[in-house]
Chain A
Amino acid sequence: MLWSRRQVLATGLLASASAAAPIRTGLAQAIEQLRIFVPANPGGGWDQTGRSMEMAMKSAGLIKSAQITNVGGAGGTVGLPQFINQWKGQGNALMVGGMVMVGAIIANKARNNLTETTPIARLTGEFQVVVVPAASPFRSMADLVAAFKADPAKVSWAGGSAGGTDHILAGMIAKAAGGDPRKVAYVAYSGGGPAQAALLGNQVSCGISGWGEFGEQVRAGKLRALGISADKRQPGIDVPTLREQGIDVELFNWRGVFAPPGISDAQRQSLLDLVDRMVKSPAWAEILKRYDWTDIYLPGDRYRAYIASETERIHAILKDLGLAS
């Protein structure tokens, strides 16, 4: 029993990565054993990202093995201090994180933040979608926003927990439309399923979630998508962007990787190389396709700058929502 999962995994990897012959080229600072830190419990999106990275790197022959450590809780803010303090200086370690963590650090007033880590690369992202029940009178974002501005109390918005990605987008839309983000009658659900059920049962006016969550209901005609938060139209998805409809809002729920603080430049460079090779491997492409993740790879210093601007942007909107000072 102990071996079955690994064997199964190994055979699967061989099959999926037969194109990429595992040839190790002579990297100066090759990483034999990678340690991946996931600041969430097993099973969620970050965990999936970490485990997918392990698979892709192994099948591309970039590493020999990886060890995954999960320290979950509070949007990653339980794990972050541990990564910063106890993993300091480890040149073979990567932490998975993303936009949710940026928000959680601000909202939970966490003591540590992401500038204390060594950002390596942004990897994937998912855009959000605004939907209404099929029977709803709203046909476009303009209808929805007009109703909201007429009487905010009459328009209820379903989504994930308050202060999370969905709530942030709701606040951004309200603000961009010239309304008060705090007046959004936001109905928080603990997961995509119950929120979808509320929409299908016509219990709420509209809902916000990742496209992966609502996409199928939209395709089946049970929910109507009014707008997506991507920067441009997406192939195969016949839904206009928010920006096209005059709401100047763009939001990606992104995920990326970070190295611990206190590593040498050479160590940082070899991690950058490692991630770069992984992103360009066929195995990674296969994983992106399977999970429907959008590739928004952004390495190194530009990633560091991106985190800084995201932190500022999210802080501003959380302040508008009254969730940060």
Chain B
Amino acid sequence: METLGQLAHGFAVALTPLNLLWAFVGVFLGTAVGVLPGLGPALTIALLLPITFSVDATGAFILFAGIYYGAMYGGSTTSILLNTPGESATIVTALEGNRMARRGRAGPALATAAIGSFVAGTVGTLGLTFLAPLVVEFALRFGPAEYFSLMVLAFVTVSAMLGASALRGLAALLVGLFLGLIGVDLQTGQARFTFGVPELLDGIDVIVVAVGLFAVGETLFLAAHPRPAEQAPLKVSGSLWMTRDDWRRSWKAWLRGSGIGFPLGSLPAGGAEVPTFISYFVEKKLSRRPEEFGQGAIEGVAGPEAANNASAAGVLVPMLSLGLPTSATAAIMLSAFQSYGISPGPLLFQNQADLVWGLIASLYIGNAMLLVLNLPLIGLWVRILSVPAPLLYAGILVFATIGTYGISQSPVDLLLLYAMGGMGYLMRRFDFPTAPVIIGLILGPLAEQEFRRAMTISGGDLTVFLSKPLSATLLALALLALIGPMLLRLRRRA
């Protein structure tokens, strides 16, 4: 009950007109930067840090919280409408979301994303409010061995995205794994596959690959193979709003996504994308209509969207309870604490109760504000799709360029983006799935680094993956996820 009292106090802090204004500015800005591929919440908050010199701490954190949650909303909007993920955590959303949009169901896709984000954001924030100490204890038990096993589990989820031919899907996965190897090896400082190009030393940005493969590749494909009947392949037909059936199929996915996203988000090195992969896999396996996946299944939007927002809340758990900056955004927020002379550390909850509870309250407020803002905007957003094809695709390409070039200002990144576009065209033309490339690129480096860390610590003893109970459990789950569906099918047949 003490928690409730403090939370109420937090709301009292956050609910002043000025702070509501900050929340509004935050969610607006957040949505805007979420929309642009490459420009994310971490960078935006970093660039806005100077305001800590003149705005009071509560106001600044309410602004930052708004940006943080808003970016996830903005990222999913462009994933669904334009097949151009603005954030890496919304890449999976594009898989089913954009298919729905192409079948004229952009409205319901955006609605289930917005409501799912709200539900998950709320569940996640509730978890942050009441479960933080428990969750953090669990999270600290993850060492390199456990993370590696988690990555193995995440790799299994690729089986849900392989498409018609497993061979082609695995080929795409391996190309992604190769792209993930490019750059300086973290453990030894050795450059791999950089061919003397200094821009490649830091590795290849996931967003550049995703936007190149999805958006640029698609644009090239449509330009090369025009179909008169489909000059405007994205057209809104039917209702903007979710049908009864959509609701029925969405609500469980929202809750499952939240349940997957929050604990995984709170892991210090889990990554924001892993929960979205797992959620997609789970939804496909549990769906009564798995054949709809790849054609625009609403669960495939609802689940991952919930998972990414819940994991955003999860990231704040180690940050607020231990002072651990486990994502770029959290690191920047911690340095904002610092510039208020507040020491971000394990004693934050005790020493800065006002601020922390004000921040948590503002997460609830920002989340609600995003829902209220976004639902009416759906009508406006889908109108983007009625823009004539020449302007729409020209806009998409310029848009992809802006985000990529804006941050790095390097023509090398642009070349990479366009090269990925060329690869995306070939893959689309010859019917290779592109999603596995992204999975390989994200999971490959994580798995490799964790494996080698585990080996360095254990002195090369491979049994650590089985002798640690948590790690063994995760591996068992991976095995179950791999062969479970097959066994079920066998039993049904028998």
Contact = CB atoms under 8 A, between A and B. Distances in A.
Tell me if chains A and B make direct contact, with any CB pair below 8 A: yes
Interface of A: 4-5, 8-9, 11-13, 15-16, 41-43, 47-48, 51, 55, 69-74, 77-78, 107-108, 110, 153-154, 156, 161-163, 167, 185-194, 196-198, 200-201, 203-204, 212, 215-217, 219-220, 222, 290-292, 323
A212 B323 CA distance: 12
Given A42-B43, A78-B198, A193-B268, 16 more contacts: A9-B50, A9-B54, A12-B51, A12-B54, A12-B55, A77-B198, A108-B191, A153-B459, A156-B456, A187-B456, A193-B324, A193-B325, A193-B327, A198-B143, A203-B143, A203-B144
Interface string B404-421: 000111100000000000
A161 B47 CA distance: 25
Contact of B326 (A12, A74, A194): A194
A9 B339 CA distance: 15
Given A77-B198, A201-B143, A220-B346, A107 B189 contact: yes
Contacts of A74: 184, 198-199, 201-202
A197 B323 contact: no
Interface stretch (B112-120, B290-298, B330-338, B372-380): B330-338
Given A43-B43, A107-B189, A163-B189, A154 B54 contact: no
Interface string B127-155: 00000000000011111100000000000
Interface in B165-224: 184-189, 191, 198-199, 201-202
Nearest to A47: B46
Interface string B396-410: 000000000001111
B390 interface: no
A161 B186 contact: yes
A217 B189 contact: no
A4 B318 CA distance: 32
A216 B409 CA distance: 36
B343 A219 contact: yes
Given A217-B346, A219-B345, A73 B408 contact: yes
Contacts of A212: 338
Contact of A110 (B42, B184, B198): B198
A185 B48 CA distance: 39
Contact of B409 (A71, A193, A204): A71
A41 B408 contact: yes
B344 A43 contact: no
B202 A216 contact: no
A267 to B, nearest CB: 26
B51 A197 contact: no
A118 B111 CA distance: 57
Contacts of B387: none
B141 A201 contact: yes
A65 to B, nearest CB: 15
A200 B324 contact: yes
Nearest to A108: B201
Contacts of B459: 153-154, 185
A196 B339 CA distance: 21
Contacts of A217: 322-323, 345-346
B252 interface: no
Contacts of B191: 108
16 contacts: A5-B51, A8-B54, A12-B54, A13-B53, A41-B408, A43-B42, A161-B189, A186-B456, A187-B457, A190-B449, A196-B322, A197-B324, A200-B140, A219-B345, A220-B323, A220-B347
A171 B459 CA distance: 19
Interface in B453-479: 453, 456-457, 459
Given A74-B201, A107-B189, A41 B407 contact: yes
A35 to B, nearest CB: 14
Contacts of B324: 193, 196-197, 200
B346 to A, nearest CB: 4
B427 interface: no
A220 B407 CA distance: 37
Which of A47, A55, A73, A215 is the most central at the interface, judged by chain B CB atoms within 10 Å of its CB?
A73
Ranked nearest first, the 3 interchain pairs of A and B with the lowest CB-CB distance are A216-B345, A12-B54, A43-B46
Contacts of B51: 5, 8-9, 12
B269 interface: yes
Nearest to B270: A194
B268 A291 contact: no
Interface string B424-462: 000000000000000000000000010001001101000
Contacts of A51: 50
A197 B135 CA distance: 13
A55 B50 contact: yes
A158 to B, nearest CB: 9
A292 B338 contact: yes
Nearest to B201: A74
B475 to A, nearest CB: 18
Contacts of A215: 343
Given A217-B345, A222-B346, A108 B322 contact: no
B458 to A, nearest CB: 9
B341 interface: yes
Interface string B345-376: 11100000000000000000000000000000
A16 B339 CA distance: 13
A291 B47 CA distance: 15
Contacts of B339: 290-291
B445 to A, nearest CB: 9
B407 A197 contact: no
A290 B52 CA distance: 11
A42 B143 CA distance: 31
B55 to A, nearest CB: 7
A47 to B, nearest CB: 7
A200 B199 CA distance: 34
A197 B345 contact: no
A197 B198 contact: no
A16 B143 contact: no
Contacts of A42: 43, 46-47, 407
A16 B54 CA distance: 9
Nearest to A163: B189
A175 B316 CA distance: 40
A203 B457 contact: yes
